[in-house]
Amino acid sequence: MFIKPGKFFMGSSVGEVGRRNNEQRHLVSITEGFYIQKTPVTQYQWTKIIGYNPSRFRKNGDHRPVENIDWIEAQKFIAKLNRMVIDPKYRLPTEAEWEYACRCGRYTPFSFGESYLAAKSANIDTMGTSEVASFPPNAWGIHDMHGNVWEWCQDWISDYTPTVDIDPRGPENGSLKVIRGGSWEGGVVYCRSACREARNVNSSFCNLGFRLCY
């Protein structure tokens, strides 16, 4: 899905339920359009490239997101995929690109509004992953930005810049990589558009996957 360049307020508003201190709202400018995958990478896609399936939830797995993937493994998948295509540009989204695409022009806690509607809007607080695109997309046509699996971003996590940030890509070094979107477990507040978590590059869990960008 192509995402046009634009400006948006990244982070959450004071008073948003679940808000954390690392979500200070600030203006971000995305100066170049980019493509982002409509769904997380599936087990079928992963196995086609890598040759094995690390996922816990394998029933109808071809259509479920791949999980149990650490950041380094995601990079290996991307590198191998890029060697197979003519114009190798696949990568993980930056944290700013991820939130920009998730919000799709909205500033409510979720891209679908203020409240959490589990049965209609996202796979949150369930017993495992669901097939990708089982729930309606956001206004820009992107599925599963809330819940299902956490998604790796490219950036090392750091505090936000209080001034206008242009195409932010995080610090050059760090100890933890950003993950976004929440998952099928862990609670509603983690699935908000602004929620930020981070993990070691070697961390892999059955609620953690990724989607491609270029």
On whether the CB atoms of residues 180 and 102 are closer than 8 A, the answer is yes
Q: Provide the CA 34 distance to its chain's centre, in angstroms.
A: 15
CA gap 138, 73 in Å, rounded: 28
On whether the CB atoms of residues 25 and 11 are closer than 8 A, the answer is yes
Q: Provide the CA 52 distance to its chain's centre, in angstroms.
A: 23
Per-residue model confidence as pLDDT tens digits over 170-182: 999 999 999 999 9
E strands, 15-110, where? Answer: 26-30, 34-35
The more confident residue out of 46 and 114 is 46
Q: How many helices (H) and strands (E) does the chain have?
A: 4, 9
The whole-number average pLDDT for the span 6-11 is 97
The most confident of the ranges 7-16, 120-129, 155-164 is 7-16
The mean of the pLDDT values for the chain is 95
Distances (CA, A) of 63 to 22, 39, 41, 153: 34, 10, 9, 22
The crossing angle, in degrees rounded to 10, of helices 71-84 and 43-50 is 70
- Residue recorded with tokens 């981070």: 198
pTM for this prediction? 0.96
pLDDT of residue 134: 96
Amino acid identity of residue 174, one-letter, is: G
pLDDT band at 117; cut points 50, 70, 90: low
The whole-number average pLDDT for the span 181-209 is 96
